[in-house]
Amino acid sequence: MSKHALDPRDEEGLVLSDLLSHVLDKGVVITGDVIISVAGVDLIAISLSLLITGLETVDRRNLGLSGRLPQVLGDLPILPPLRTP
């Protein structure tokens, strides 16, 4: 069910790219500059989650939008917690 009779260069590239996507993009980060971009992106993602779910519960009348904003949000999938603990 797998790898015979295939171009070894494709396979090597595939395995390497798979490795890079784990090693360069995941894993715990504790140092300087990367924290700014990684932690910052995390902050944005979390804030957006709060923003979008927060808007869901806003009173429609207060927004004066006659129910359109929550309908728009209903069009977008609502975010569950971003990470599985």
* Contacts with another protein, residue ranges (CB under 8 A): 1-3, 6-7, 10-11, 13-34, 36-38, 40-42, 44-45, 48-49, 68-69, 71-72, 75-80, 82-85
Nearest to 73 by CA among 54, 83, 32: 54
Q: How far are the Cα atoms of 10, 61, 69 from residue 72, in angstroms, in the given order? A: 43, 15, 5
Minimum CB separation of residue 58 from another protein in Å reads 14
> What is the number of other CB atoms lying within 10 angstroms of the CB of residue 84?
5
Contact indicator for 52, 69 with CB cutoff of 8 Å:
no
Minimum CB separation of residue 64 from another protein in Å reads 15
Contact indicator for 82, 49 with CB cutoff of 8 Å:
yes
- Kindly tell me which of 30 and 59 has the beta carbon lying closer to another protein: 30
- Kindly tell me which of 30 and 62 has the beta carbon lying closer to another protein: 30
Minimum CB separation of residue 66 from another protein in Å reads 10
- Kindly tell me which of 32 and 61 has the beta carbon lying closer to another protein: 32
